[in-house]
Amino acid sequence: MSPRTPVRAKGLADGLAAFAHVSPATDSAEDVTPRAKSPAPSSASRKRKRSFTLAEAPAGWRATWDLILELRADRTAVVDTMGCESAAASCADEGERAFHSLVSLMLSSQTKDTTNAMVMKRLREHGLSVASVSAMSEDTLRDLIWGAGFGNNKAKYIKAATQIIVEQHGGVPPATMDGLLALPGVGPKMALIQLNVVHGLCVGISVDTHVHRIANQLRWTGDEGTSMPEKTREALESWMPQDQWPCVNVVLVGLGQEVQTEKAKLLRKCLACSDPPRALELLATLGVNVERERAKAQL
């Protein structure tokens, strides 16, 4: 399967209301309007060429997806206020916004969004910028990102990536998959989110542990499922309409967070949605003991 044409998406903050850039009921990726000129496949795109094949889209996926979008329309999950999108939201300068988003993503691995937000706040208070990170020592940066998982490695990666940004990109983070993947500590998941959030360019579905788990629970990855997030990405991209890709990560990450830590709130949303029985069935599929949680929440 050849690489697909990138989708220009509105910023995630534009909403649905919160996710308004997602078409409500388009079952064909061919309905997506391509960019005026499609770029030639990059080496990164060729490396990411999909080998996964699903015969057809999973039965009933659209109704399930629309229900998930409805449940996530309030955008009250942790990722909605403390993810990389919000980390860069206050930046007026596009280059600064791109750098703040990139640093947040580099810190995010093995780090909760709440901790990531705390570390980013500390960095901003110390004047987070390409220039400031270039000037500070690795030890100073390590102290500033204290609390983030694998802080020693992340300090090295952020310093090295910043040096490349200065020397090869004029002080502004690259805006291509190739450029981002060439930065130390940046993998496909981070690069895909960076392009989507900062540049409104979606070239693939970013799959983290929440997306990987939920996609398999819903059997959106085939009957045998997938064992690795990259295979989950390949499975989802093989059948999901491309116009839906931009918000898959933030929608499913937020749902996963609510399933894990805000079950009562999620149950209330299910009971108030357009199809409560189906919504409660969805929660059961995602591993929630609905009756026990309803009793605990007195619902």
> Residue-wise pLDDT tens for the chain (299 aa)?
334 555 554 434 443 445 544 433 333 322 222 223 333 434 444 444 445 566 589 999 999 999 999 999 999 999 999 988 777 777 778 899 999 999 999 999 989 999 999 999 999 999 999 999 999 999 999 999 999 999 999 999 999 999 999 999 999 999 999 999 999 999 999 999 999 999 999 999 999 999 999 999 999 999 899 999 999 999 999 999 999 999 999 999 999 999 999 999 999 999 999 999 999 999 999 999 999 999 999 99
Element (H, E) at 8: strand 7-8
CA–CA separation, 284 vs 271, rounded Å? 14
- Please give the pLDDT value at position 32: 26
CB atoms within 10 A of CB 172: 15
Q: Closest Cα to residue 88, out of 120, 115, 111?
A: 120
> Which residues on neighbouring strands pair with residue 7, listed in sequence order?
202
- Please give the pLDDT value at position 40: 40
Tell me if 262 sits within 8 A of 254, measured CB to CB.
no
Using alpha carbons, list the distances in angstroms from residue 202 to 6, 49, 94, 261: 6, 15, 18, 29
As a CATH number, domain 83-186 is 1.10.340.30
**Residue boundaries of the structural domains of the chain:** 9-14+55-77+204-297, 83-186
Find all residues with CB under 8 Å of 86, minimum gap 6, and list them.
80, 117
Q: Closest Cα to residue 78, out of 52, 51, 101, 108?
A: 108
Q: How many residues can be counted in the chain?
A: 299
CA–CA separation, 181 vs 103, rounded Å? 14
- Please give the pLDDT value at position 6: 57
- Please give the pLDDT value at position 4: 52
Q: Which amino acid does the sequence have at 237? A: E
Token look-up 């409660």 returns 280
- Please give the pLDDT value at position 187: 94
Give me the active site residues, please: 189
Element (H, E) at 202: strand 201-202
